[in-house]
Amino acid sequence: MAKLLSCVLGPRLYRVYRERGPARLPRDGDEATEGSPASRESSWDSYYQPRSLEKHSDSILALASVLWSISYYTSPLAFFYLYRKGYLTMSKVVPFSHYAATMLFLLAGVACLRGIGRWTNPQYIQFITILEDSHRIGTPEIKKKLASYNFDFRSWPVDFRWDEVSSRSDSRGISLLQPPPKHRSTANGFLNAVKKLPCQIASYIVAHTFGRRMLYPGSVYLLQKALMPMLLQGQARLVEEWGGKRAKLLACDGNEIDTMFMDRRGTSEPQGAKLVICCEGNAGFYEVGCLSTPLDAGYSVLGWNHPGFAGSTGVPLPQAEANAMDAVVQFAIHRLGFQPDDIILYAWSIGGFTATWAAMTYPEISALVLDASFDDLVPLALKVMPESWRGLVTRTVRQHLNLNNGEQLCRYQGPVLLVRRTKDEIITTTVPEDIMSNRGNDLLLKLLQHRYPKVMGEEGVRMVREWLEASSPMEEVAVCSRYEVEDDWCMSVLRSYRDQHGPDFPWSVGDDMMPEGRRQLALFLARKQLQNFEATHCTPLPHHNFRLPWRL
């Protein structure tokens, strides 16, 4: 009877993995030879085969879940309609509650039938036994057996807790996110607070209803449901072809973070000793996201899903994002055994927020690569919202959704590479063809102005903008040739300054230099910090375009 109850309440089982050693993904030009990943792609048929009773009852429950999600998102309109029609009276609500109770009773019966179907399936009985043992015993052998199953991640046991080691915020007094300073007026009294209260309430409602869903559409349940087959296939590819190891991390706010680690340290490729932590975009998942780029380039890779995405719980607000990233970095250092100077942060799009936060908080991290990222969310939010909402949008972003990538980036001392998409349609504030409206330009300028303030004066900014406006590599070379940029001279000047004053930014190099020298340095530094990629925002970055940032 206890086993039957476990089958009724147990998680959904999707797939049983076969034993396969890690291999690399096929690259351009590879032939699908016998035994290669390309030739084995069609043999991914290891889905769990449920019995007929379980299959049909599971379909009914899945449909009910989708309908509930749709009703949740449309509930404000439904309540408004029912109110206008006069249906929200006691005489009308009581019969409706009876119908709802009957429906819940029927769904409970369907869940019991599903449990009976599972109970008669030896494969599910074996799985549920291993899962119960992992929660009760949790030995490495049991966890290894559990890793051969793909099931509802809510039932996966926690592999790493944020408080297993001394957290960065406790040990160095650095809070995860500092709220923006409040500008107080002279009439800072009760009346002033009352005046601001309606605006604050409106900002809170906007941020926690459609605002955060527009910012992170990947957290919407209906989208995840539609992408589920693709996510399952992507996860199977990482496990079966690359030997990926899934783990659940518990962040300090109680959110559970879904991660996948591909270990390349035992391969012949030297890059395998370096770990690339990938931070996905606002509709990206590690199963099908940007981690394939460093993985195909030969690096060890750790991917993770935003709070509220796929197996991760919670809501993707900035504080939760920072908490999740903190747990991921701690896991990489203290459980996976990578030193901070062997860790590279790679972020695509909105993932730049968590990557710059981690770089700022863990300054020993080796390098930071930001692909198609931006400096500040406000200009991009204003682009898609009505002009009459400007004040509300700005206030909402600053108070609740403040992705201040540029500010956080300037607090990191290590090497940085920015990848700018020349046809980006997402982080431009006008049209994709207007490359100067790409907010990656502003991210580069903020970084250079912070690190080299004497070089990046008014003239230096003008030079860099002229270089950024070049629409082809030949035009970029022409700009540098016009101002006679000598790489060897620039390198010698920068090395001489570093040897005399140390590596910490900001530098005062260029303070006693002629304007021609400062122009050369400005263009040289811009070329070293930014790499152009002729593509749209969502085009995957090829592995041969992934490189580490320039180091002096």
Give residue-wise pLDDT tens across range 92-123: 777 888 888 999 999 999 999 999 999 999 99
Is domain 158-168+196-414 in CATH 3.40.50, yes or no? yes
Taking every pair of Cα atoms in the chain, the longest distance, rounded to a whole number of angstroms, is 86
Predicted local confidence at residue 169, as pLDDT: 44
Q: Are 280 and 290 in contact (CB under 8 A)?
A: yes
Confidence band, pLDDT 50/70/90 cuts, at residue 321 = very high
Q: Are 461 and 452 in contact (CB under 8 A)?
A: no
Q: Are 219 and 316 in contact (CB under 8 A)?
A: yes
Higher pLDDT, 141 or 186: 141
Q: Is 300 helix (H, G, I), strand (E, B) or coil?
A: strand
d(CA 150, CA 228): 12
Q: Is the pLDDT of residue 198 over 80?
A: yes
d(CA 425, CA 442): 16
Predicted local confidence at residue 92, as pLDDT: 74
Domain limits, the chain: 1-16+48-155, 158-168+196-414, 444-551
- pTM of structure: 0.89
Q: Is the pLDDT of residue 190 over 50?
A: yes
Q: Is the pLDDT of residue 545 over 50?
A: yes
Rg (Cα) of the chain, in Å, rounded? Answer: 27
Q: Name the active-site residue from 349, 366, 400, 537.
A: 349
Host H or E run for residue 510:
none
Q: Is 238 helix (H, G, I), strand (E, B) or coil?
A: helix
* Nearest CA among 117, 1, 109, 113 for reference residue 48: 117
What the block records as the tokens of 42 is 């069609």
Token pair 């400096």: residue? 375
Rounded to the nearest 5 degrees, what angle is found at the Cα of 64, between the Cα atoms of 62 and 70?
Answer: 105
Q: Is the pLDDT of residue 184 over 60?
A: no
Q: Is the pLDDT of residue 456 over 70?
A: yes
Strand residues in 108-219 grouped as ranges (E): 149-151, 160-161
What percent of the chain is predicted at pLDDT more than 90? 76
Q: What would the pLDDT profile of 371-413 be if each residue is shown by its tens digit? A: 999 999 999 999 999 999 999 999 999 999 999 999 999 999 9
Q: What would the pLDDT profile of 460-501 be if each residue is shown by its tens digit? A: 999 999 999 997 889 999 999 999 999 999 999 999 999 999
d(CA 204, CA 207): 5
Q: Is the pLDDT of residue 353 over 70?
A: yes
- Collect contacts of 27-35 with beta carbons under 8 A, ≥24 apart: 27/296, 27/543, 28/542
Predicted local confidence at residue 532, as pLDDT: 96
Q: Is the pLDDT of residue 43 over 80?
A: no
Terminal CA-CA length for the chain: 68
Q: What would the pLDDT profile of 421-436 be if each residue is shown by its tens digit? A: 999 999 999 999 999 9
Sorted by sequence, the CB contacts under 8 Å of residue 7 that are 6+ apart come out as: 115, 116, 118, 119, 124, 125, 128
Q: Are 420 and 441 in contact (CB under 8 A)?
A: yes
| Cα-to-chain-centroid distance, residue 460 | 34
Mean model confidence pLDDT for the chain: 89
Predicted local confidence at residue 422, as pLDDT: 95
Predicted local confidence at residue 292, as pLDDT: 96
Confidence band, pLDDT 50/70/90 cuts, at residue 86 = confident
Give yes or no: 501 in active site: yes
What the block records as the tokens of 435 is 């490359």
* Nearest CA among 449, 421, 425, 433 for reference residue 530: 421
Q: Is the pLDDT of residue 271 over 80?
A: yes
d(CA 403, CA 298): 31
Q: Name the active-site residue from 366, 424, 442, 537.
A: 424
Token pair 């040739």: residue? 481
Predicted local confidence at residue 411, as pLDDT: 97
Predicted local confidence at residue 181, as pLDDT: 52
Q: Is the pLDDT of residue 19 over 80?
A: no
Residue 111 burial by Cβ neighbours in a 10 Å radius (0-12, 13-18, 19+): middle
Over range 345-359, report the average pLDDT.
98
**Which amino acid is it at 155?**
S
Q: Is the pLDDT of residue 179 over 70?
A: no
Over range 13-31, report the average pLDDT.
59
What percent of the chain is predicted at pLDDT more than 70? 90
Give yes or no: 424 in active site: yes
d(CA 209, CA 195): 23
Confidence band, pLDDT 50/70/90 cuts, at residue 443 = very high
d(CA 167, CA 155): 26
Q: Name the active-site residue from 501, 508, 511, 544.
A: 501
Q: Is the pLDDT of residue 294 over 50?
A: yes
- Compute how many other C-beta atoms are within 10 angstroms of the C-beta atom of residue 310: 19
